[in-house]
Amino acid sequence: MTDLDGLGIAFKDAFGRSPEGCWAAPGRVNLIGEHTDYNDGFVLPFALAQTTRAAVARRDDGLLRVHSADMDDGVDGVGGVVELRVDDLAPGTSAGWATYPAAVLWTLREAGHPVGGADIHYTSTVPVGGGLSSSAALQVVTALALAELHGAAIARQELALLCQRSENVYVGAPVGVMDQTASACCTAGHALHLDVRGLTRRQVPLDLAAAGLTLLVADTRVKHAHSDGAYAKLRSGCEAAAAQLGLAALRDVPFDGLDAALEALPDERLRRLTRHVVTENRRVEEVVALLDAGRVGDIGPLLTAGHASLRDDFQVSCAELDLVAGTALDAGALGARMTGGGFGGSVVALVPEERAGAVTQAVRAALPQVRVFEAAPAQGAHRLG
């Protein structure tokens, strides 16, 4: 039995009929460019092989019914199915994990797309809470499936923007657009160089195997409680710094003008936030230049410098992330950094292939609960069948 067959069977078990189609959307690793997207800056993510998959069929009775093989948070109804009325969907209403697909459906309809009720069964291999964008994968697979089933022609970048809006407006989280764009727009074998301000995209070749390298992802399985509300505080701090500098966003601080900008900011916290954003944008540009030149191994120190900036200036790392990154470097990694929003989640480590086993072993010895896997640039969201 194929995975697609299993997805269809699980849908039938949940809803008593067969799906009309199945879709997949990946999680992502951000190679470099953290907390720069909501500052109109540059990011360089790539899609993971780990995906959220959805089997979907339309309904004509005004109901959205969703079921997950992976979620159980106490809001599920009979048989684990969450049932919501499409006409009752509104920003600020919560249905546990089902808030995310509900938000996507509401946002598509608000934007004028002719989508309606549906039965949706989900299953996912994207680690939840690992800083690998499991929520964006859930949003994008829902939006793509509903759009294609209802004949709504939505370009991929617009699809990502709608998913971002669903989280901003309906869920109430002030996230940037990187995660949704990566899930919707990445291509296999490439990292996605995204200029968030203009939403210009370029696929940058990232052939790790040809360079004799592997990228390890170490999910610490840690999420510290003090991360609650921290994202919004960081974003508002960046916006305050830009306003004090008379700029639209911190992206507008040139790298060679950083010292002058820091002198103009009286608040130490705003100086730290500004220094990270400006230097991180520079690191993205330097990594892209190295990848374009085929010098994949040379990006390692830039990854490590990015971790130091996130730890010291943005202060979004934690003891477990620092331990894993440091252990990976000591065991032979060329570079290592936390990836994602911070306060837990995952570390990425660029490692020579012959050192991958030793690095993995060292990281597991340092933090026994860690989950380590190899990552290579995979395909963005697509229909499975």
Active-site annotation holds for 322: no
Calculate ∠ Cα 106-108-110, nearest 5°: 65
DSSP 353: G
Q: Output the six-digit token pair for 329.
A: 């470097």
Calculate ∠ Cα 311-317-318, nearest 5°: 125
Please answer whether residues 116 and 60 qualify as being in contact, where contact means their C-beta atoms are separated by less than 8 angstroms.
Answer: yes
Three-class DSSP category at 31? strand
Query: What DSSP element (H or E) covers 69?
Result: none
Please answer whether residues 278 and 261 qualify as being in contact, where contact means their C-beta atoms are separated by less than 8 angstroms.
Answer: yes
Q: Which of 37, 179, 219, 313 is catalytic?
A: 179
Please answer whether residues 116 and 58 qualify as being in contact, where contact means their C-beta atoms are separated by less than 8 angstroms.
Answer: yes
Please answer whether residues 61 and 209 qualify as being in contact, where contact means their C-beta atoms are separated by less than 8 angstroms.
Answer: no
Please answer whether residues 52 and 121 qualify as being in contact, where contact means their C-beta atoms are separated by less than 8 angstroms.
Answer: no
Q: Which residues are catalytic?
A: 179
